[in-house]
Amino acid sequence: NTIKLIPDGDCNAFNPTNSSENSEKRFVNVNAILTDSNDNPWVVDSGLFGSRTFVNGSKLVKINLNTNIVEQIYYTSSLNPPLGYALNDVRIGSRHAYLTESGLGSVVIINLENDQVRRVLYNHPSTKFADPTIVRMEERIVLNVRFVFY
């Protein structure tokens, strides 16, 4: 068995200390990889390196394993991602990709046919981390961090 970089070594050669690096074509910070029904890997790149976000570094990349080339790159830079924005995971549908944005809490939807990108459920309770010190059932507190039952 051998290890082979996909799609190639250049895509995996990002150097954050070199300002001339091309974050559009190289992986900055891969957060997730999902394989679709055609065995094509889809790579979520948050574009974050430390506290720095690289322009066009935040993207979804589709790779064709038969040809070992990048088939499509979907950028989220049109959203003007705010500080703290961090793509995390992806699910692929027939026409859309759905990405969780866990930094600030939202869902990013990419139209795979026309590359349009939109961000939904920003600041919505369903995309926020719940208070881990409180357990709720049917909207009532039933247990708190001190293990006091209500």
Q: Which residue has the higher pLDDT, 41 or 50?
A: 41
Q: Where are the domains of the chain?
A: 10-144
DSSP for residue 81 = P
Position 35 confidence tier, pLDDT thresholds 50, 70, 90: very high
Position 49 confidence tier, pLDDT thresholds 50, 70, 90: confident
For 77-96, the pLDDT digits (tens) are 899 888 888 899 999 999 99
Q: Which residue has the higher pLDDT, 142 or 68?
A: 68
pLDDT for res 142: 74
Average pLDDT, the chain: 85
| Helix runs in 16-135, H state only | none
Query: Does residue 8 have a pLDDT over 90?
Result: no
0.85 exceeded by the pTM? no
Structurally, at CATH architecture level, domain 10-144 sits in 6 Propeller (2.120)
Q: Which residue has the higher pLDDT, 33 or 53?
A: 33
What are the start-end ranges of the E strands in 11-125? 30-35, 41-45, 48-49, 52-53, 59-64, 69-75, 87-92, 96-101, 106-111, 117-120
Q: What is the dihedral of CA 15, 21, 24, 27, to 10 degrees?
A: -10
